[in-house]
Structure 1
Amino acid sequence: MADDKPSHRFNLGETYRRRDLHDQYGGNPQSGVSPCGDEPIIFLFTGGTGQQHGYQDDFKKDGTVIYTGEGQEGDMEFVRGNKAIRDHKEDDRELHLFEMEGDGEVRYLGQYEYADFEWVELPDTKGNPRDAIRFELAPVGETITTEMAGEERKDNGTEESVVSSNTEASTDPTDRKIVSIRINKTTDMREHFDATVLSDVSRDTVEPYLEVTFDRDDIRLWGNRASTVGENTVSRGDLILFFYDGEYEAVAEVMGTSILGPSAAEFSRAVWPSYDPDDPGNYVIYLSRVYDATIDLDRFWDEHVLDYSGHPLDGWTDLHNHLDAIVAEYGSIEGFYEEATGALRYDYWDLDEWDIDTDLAHRLERQLQRKGQVILYGPPGTGKTFTADSFARWWTGQQMQAKSPAERISSVTFHPSYSYEDFIEGYTIIVDNDDGATPSESSQTEIDEFTGEQDRESPAARDADSRAGEYGLKDGLFKEFCNEAESAFKRSQPHVPGSEPKYLFLIDEINRGNISKVLGENIKLLEQSKRGDSVRLSHSGEEFTIPPNVYVIGTMNTADQSIALLDAALRRRFASLTVPPKYEVLYNSTSYPFDTKTEALELVRSGSDELDVLQAASVLALEIINSAITETSGLGKGKRIGHTYLLPVEWEANADATGVGRDRALADVWRFDILPLLEEYYFGEFDRLQEDVFGKDDVELFDQQTRDIAEFSVAALREELVDLVTRRQELLTDAET
């Protein structure tokens, strides 16, 4: 909080007519940032329809306000109102913040002063991405936000992505917003409710219009007009009650939201065809769970709770004014949640619906809970990294009252040069001026002030300047991650088991780094029994701890190094899970013209479609080759070839992108991926490669004179693979077992 004293020009919390303010002090009554010509005052206004124009203002619990600068279209610049905010102290002007309440009235929130700013990417009024200025404003004296300490104000930012949202949910399970929606019988709302809340919507239908990705094929969602929602937005973990024809029919939990720009009409037409294209539902809410409602109306609408005689006619009723009464009646918001929900009709987090090996995911979860860290090891192309990424989003995402998964998952790829300084802490180039600017930025500011260019400073120029700096001690990636996790752990509810938010750190290619060098003295802190203990770091001398809510997943390619060669101290502290080739993933693919090995064999024997035969022979040949590799001295199962090389989604995408036929795209996988890998395994042993893998010494896929991989035709590949399957079919059973 600033040391300056407030001017007391306005009464905290009092409502004013905005027109009266401008009549007395001057300024533009249409502008969100309004410097007053008659007095040394700058009026700032928040709320209203600001979000429709890309403005997102956040109110922090420490009283700080993150205020979006002015400018509806295109990149913002430090001109007019934005310049006035930044320079207000130099110009001896005061910043006074008001909240727009409708009907021309505004409520006074308090006096603030400029503290800092940052450039972020936000949508403009047309929904196009642009560089926006977000000011950090510090309170001067008492303000509404400091006075209420987060009780009255809510963070009104919106999520742009289900998995990468900046919306922070509270770790307090009782701090959940509840919104009640009345479904009008005389409009198309019931049709929309049935279509997207009670029924599944394909992600293929919605993803083309959104910057959102989903981990399962079917989703549930609801849409409102942003003008109806206003500032009463929802975020992760909030509850929506759907009321229809005299009773609550469903209760849904919010997973994320998006505000659509120009794509709103097209999106609504695809999802809700009966929506008015001139007034589409541009505020989209993604639902994590949908339940049958079991709400006792007499109790919920009692005069001591909501005091309703009937549901409000609004299409969006925020119950924040009734939360205290709901808690008093039901014991907590969680208590209300339990009584309000019946049968579970949809669960986004149902693992059976995710594109991940369910058994492997459950084993991974169990070992993380037991040891705290796991290594997924296996041959190349078995989906180790994909499994780790998908599991991380699933495991962390279910905690709806914590930050979004994107904020609780971090990853790094180890390599031989990766060091303790990168991972924990070390000396490097850092920003180290009192004002947070690098020396080059400070120098550039002086030049700009001299030339008058400071108001036209571009993000690219700032980025270039920030590459220079001073030499000093800097926290590494894992230390920063653990510090953030520890803060979240301390904020969690100690009396509620499992309430601590899970933080998951992913290390790809963990065996490629020097583990002892990277972890240093901290390796013992990985042990479950040592979580919460601390060690003194060698560079800074600070005490460092790995909190109990940090989990680590490492991936390891056994073609590079056997897991037996890992540092013994590391192996003892990590559980190890093998990820072998999973041929059933290929048989279950809807893109392949067969569902079982028997059907694939029948196609190889008597199929008439050449592409079908090539696909069947490819999958069967991969099993045979892996079986041969397993039996080969010096190779073994760690050198097998993963099933993901033959996933149709991979080579079909190549066919679409390059314009080649699907048969040529599949042949390219063999020519440029699988055969070079075999050539590497049998380096310098050309004859042995042909004999061990293909069972003969004149394979047409190789140039017998140059002893290199040949530039073969699709027909030649098909004939060789069919021949391999026919002659070595006995290896299929061994490969399966």
Structure 2
Amino acid sequence: MSLDDLFARSGPSIKGNSMGNLVSHQNITSPLNQILYGPPGTGKTYHTIEAAVKAAEPDEYADLGIEPKLGANEEQRRLLTEMYRTLSDAGRIRFVTFHQSYGYEEFVEGLKANSEDGEISYDVEKGIFRQICDEAAKHTTEKAASKVHNFELCWQAFVEQLAEQDSLEITMSQTSFHVVDFNAKRIFFEKSNGKKDHTLSIKTLKDIFEGSREYTSGLGVYYNPLVRYLKGLVATEQQPATKRQNYVLIIDEINRGNISKIFGELITLIEPSKRKGADEELELQLSLSRPDDKLSAPDKFSVPDNLYLIGTMNTADRSLAMMDTALRRRFDFVEMMPRADLFSVYHIKWQEQQINLQSLLESLNKRIEVLYDREHTLGHAFLFPAYNAAKAGKHELAFTHLKQAFKNKIIPLLEEYFYEDWNKIRLVLGDSLKIGDNESLRLLEVQKESYTELFGGEHGLELYEDCKTTYQMKPFDCKDSIWDKVEAYIGIYSAKSVKGEVVEG
């Protein structure tokens, strides 16, 4: 489905000509290189979809009328997701994840071994970055409708002719040459003087045919007549007009890759001022891309100015300060921090009490920030299933989602952050505040082992205390689990008033 079809199906309520939308069109701009960074669960993936659509189709994005402060509503979010899928299917949005073993060969270009008739050959295989750069370069300017020759059709006609004859004579300005055979990569020909074993590259022939390369010297005296011969075999086709289009490459977990290893010499080319068409544009000869025939000029590579790079970075994996300096200079950074205020309207009402998710998340993150740092706080995405269920009035389901969030997301993250330092985990969960009647609501069991009882009075251990204190998380799935009680969650942020948040009515 095209974007026009998508908007046509959605009706005039979304795409309109209101003054508000007309004004918003003027403000829809996206940086060419940006990184969304923040702790886990802060909506980086969620916002990447919006950022990608905004960069690829700024006018269509503006027509959605999304308020920057409020964000997308459910209908706008649905349309954003559909637009994202449509653009992805069209190849205008691509996605890649960096990791420690990811390299230049996968991202830009690498050598791929092929076997033909028992002979090994190596071809240059383009990586995702090279692919999307090449595609974006075709749509940097608007082109009017025109009649063009289709290389595949012309080549097929040429192959059929050669199959019926021993050779095909190609006329030059003063002489001629004969094409006698071809394989997957090369064309074999004989000169008019009878000399054999001469070859032309099919790839170079296609580039000259389609106008992406000029070849006036050396083997150009053979390529250009062959191009004219091919174009004479099949009539031209009508090529529709094309408009400038933006392309987007999303790089997930950009901080996990070795930037120098992945980008190589291209790190400079992604700068806005060095892009193709900019005042300081740069072109480089790629390390593996060499011409098939030694007499032709080498291909030059540049990054087009209609390609947008959007990275995501989890600050719990690596601090922003530890990022590659060359990368930091070339990207705009957008911080994505936990938004507890998103839970301000609805509470979970269960067991005749209510759980304030905003206060719960704020309390957890304040303690984490003191005991660790703000880059390892907990994202609001972990609690959204519970909040959305409460918003829909499904409070039993909301409570179940909350329990699952602690079991599968929050507690494992705390264990990772504090390297199983259970005393700090106990502090984050507020157990130290649960005293007196509220001690039963503590989420961790405290166990003390006396060294004297274990080893006797002459154990000889040089210790400040005679006992060792250990902590163990109370089980989630046992009968009468503390995690099944509303008071346990209220006690995390309000231990002194656990019994006070009673639902009225």
Is this a same-fold pair by TM over 0.5?
Answer: yes
The DSSP-based 3-state class of the residue aligned with 2:432 is coil
The DSSP-based 3-state class of the residue aligned with 1:428 is strand
1:391 aligned to 48, 51, 64, which one? Answer: 51
- Indicate conservation of the 8 Å contact 2:430/2:495, yes or no: no
1:610 aligned to 335, 339, 351, which one? Answer: 351
- Indicate conservation of the 8 Å contact 2:386/2:401, yes or no: no
Structure 1 residue 345, shift from structure 2 partner: 8.9
**Cα pair distance change 1:676/1:708, threshold 3 Å:** farther
CA shift digits 1:535-583 (9 cap, x unpaired): 1111224421110111111110111110110011110011111111112
Matched, 1:344 2:11: no
Structure 1 residue 612, shift from structure 2 partner: 5.8
Structure 2 Cα separation of the partners of residues 473 and 710 of structure 1: 57
Q: What residue number does 1:535 align with?
A: 284
**Cα pair distance change 1:413/1:286, threshold 3 Å:** farther
Matched, 1:565 2:304: no
Matched, 1:722 2:479: no
RMSD: 3.9
- Indicate conservation of the 8 Å contact 2:389/2:397, yes or no: no
**Cα pair distance change 1:682/1:611, threshold 3 Å:** farther
Task: Calculate the TM-score normalised by the size of structure 2.
Answer: 0.56
Matched, 1:405 2:169: no
Matched, 1:415 2:152: no
Q: What residue number does 2:360 align with?
A: 621
Q: What residue number does 2:266 align with?
A: 522
CA shift digits 1:662-712 (9 cap, x unpaired): 422321111221111112111142113213551518763224357343224
Structure 2 Cα separation of the partners of residues 392 and 629 of structure 1: 32
Q: What residue number does 1:631 align with?
A: 370
Q: What residue number does 2:442 align with?
A: 700
Structure 1 Cα separation of the partners of residues 272 and 495 of structure 2: 52
**Cα pair distance change 1:289/1:677, threshold 3 Å:** closer
- Indicate conservation of the 8 Å contact 1:701/1:717, yes or no: no
| Letter of the structure 2 residue corresponding to residue 530 of structure 1 | K
Q: What residue number does 1:665 align with?
A: 401
**Cα pair distance change 1:553/1:290, threshold 3 Å:** closer
**Cα pair distance change 1:470/1:255, threshold 3 Å:** farther
The DSSP-based 3-state class of the residue aligned with 1:620 is helix
Structure 1 residue 429, shift from structure 2 partner: 5.4
- Indicate conservation of the 8 Å contact 1:289/1:346, yes or no: no
2:473 aligned to 709, 715, 720, which one? Answer: 709
Q: What residue number does 1:556 align with?
A: 313
| Letter of the structure 1 residue corresponding to residue 41 of structure 2 | G
- Indicate conservation of the 8 Å contact 2:342/2:358, yes or no: no
Greater helix content: 2
Alignment of 1:129-278 (within 5 A): 159=1, 165=2, 236-237=3-4, 255=6
**Cα pair distance change 1:502/1:649, threshold 3 Å:** farther
The DSSP-based 3-state class of the residue aligned with 1:511 is helix
Q: Which runs of 5+ in 1 are unaligned?
A: 1-158, 160-164, 166-235, 238-253, 258-283, 292-342, 352-361, 434-438, 441-468, 494-498, 595-606, 730-737
Alignment of 1:37-186 (within 5 A): 159=1, 165=2
| Letter of the structure 2 residue corresponding to residue 610 of structure 1 | Q
**Cα pair distance change 1:683/1:611, threshold 3 Å:** farther
Alignment of 1:590-601 (within 5 A): 592-593=346-347
Q: What residue number does 1:485 align with?
A: 136
**Cα pair distance change 1:347/1:287, threshold 3 Å:** farther
Q: What residue number does 1:576 align with?
A: 333
| Letter of the structure 2 residue corresponding to residue 488 of structure 1 | H
Q: What residue number does 2:229 align with?
A: none
Taking CA–CA contacts closer than 8 Å with sequence separation of 6 or more, which of the two structures ends up with the larger relative contact order?
2
Matched, 1:513 2:261: no
- Indicate conservation of the 8 Å contact 2:422/2:471, yes or no: yes
- Indicate conservation of the 8 Å contact 1:611/1:663, yes or no: no
Q: What residue number does 2:166 align with?
A: none
| Letter of the structure 2 residue corresponding to residue 670 of structure 1 | F
- Indicate conservation of the 8 Å contact 1:349/1:398, yes or no: no
Larger radius of gyration: 2
Structure 1 Cα separation of the partners of residues 485 and 109 of structure 2: 52
Structure 1 residue 397, shift from structure 2 partner: 3.2
**Cα pair distance change 1:582/1:285, threshold 3 Å:** closer
Structure 2 Cα separation of the partners of residues 717 and 562 of structure 1: 37
The DSSP-based 3-state class of the residue aligned with 2:248 is strand
Q: What residue number does 1:687 align with?
A: 423
Task: Calculate the TM-score normalised by the size of structure 1.
Answer: 0.40
| Letter of the structure 1 residue corresponding to residue 486 of structure 2 | R
Structure 1 residue 393, shift from structure 2 partner: 1.9
- Indicate conservation of the 8 Å contact 2:431/2:442, yes or no: no
- Indicate conservation of the 8 Å contact 1:671/1:709, yes or no: no
- Indicate conservation of the 8 Å contact 1:701/1:710, yes or no: yes
Structure 1 Cα separation of the partners of residues 7 and 389 of structure 2: 32
The DSSP-based 3-state class of the residue aligned with 2:18 is strand
Structure 1 Cα separation of the partners of residues 258 and 21 of structure 2: 42
Q: Percent identity?
A: 32
- Indicate conservation of the 8 Å contact 1:427/1:474, yes or no: yes
- Indicate conservation of the 8 Å contact 2:386/2:402, yes or no: no
Structure 2 Cα separation of the partners of residues 692 and 652 of structure 1: 26
The DSSP-based 3-state class of the residue aligned with 2:354 is helix
- In the alignment of these two chains, the number of paired residues is 325
| Letter of the structure 1 residue corresponding to residue 376 of structure 2 | K
2:37 aligned to 342, 359, 377, which one? Answer: 377
Q: Which runs of 5+ in 2 are unaligned?
A: 62-82, 145-242, 277-281, 291-298, 434-438, 448-469, 498-505
**Cα pair distance change 1:395/1:567, threshold 3 Å:** closer
Structure 1 residue 585, shift from structure 2 partner: 2.1
1:503 aligned to 238, 247, 267, which one? Answer: 247
Structure 1 residue 622, shift from structure 2 partner: 1.2
Structure 2 Cα separation of the partners of residues 555 and 428 of structure 1: 30
CA shift digits 1:297-339 (9 cap, x unpaired): xxxxxxxxxxxxxxxxxxxxxxxxxxxxxxxxxxxxxxxxxxx
Structure 1 residue 491, shift from structure 2 partner: 4.0
- Indicate conservation of the 8 Å contact 1:675/1:709, yes or no: no
Structure 1 Cα separation of the partners of residues 13 and 143 of structure 2: 22
Q: What residue number does 1:55 align with?
A: none
CA shift digits 1:337-369 (9 cap, x unpaired): xxxxxx539969989xxxxxxxxxx8xx65x43
The DSSP-based 3-state class of the residue aligned with 2:138 is helix
CA shift digits 1:443-485 (9 cap, x unpaired): xxxxxxxxxxxxxxxxxxxxxxxxxx97532000011001100
Mean alpha-carbon deviation: is it higher for 522-531 or for 716-725?
716-725
- Indicate conservation of the 8 Å contact 2:104/2:264, yes or no: yes
The DSSP-based 3-state class of the residue aligned with 1:489 is coil
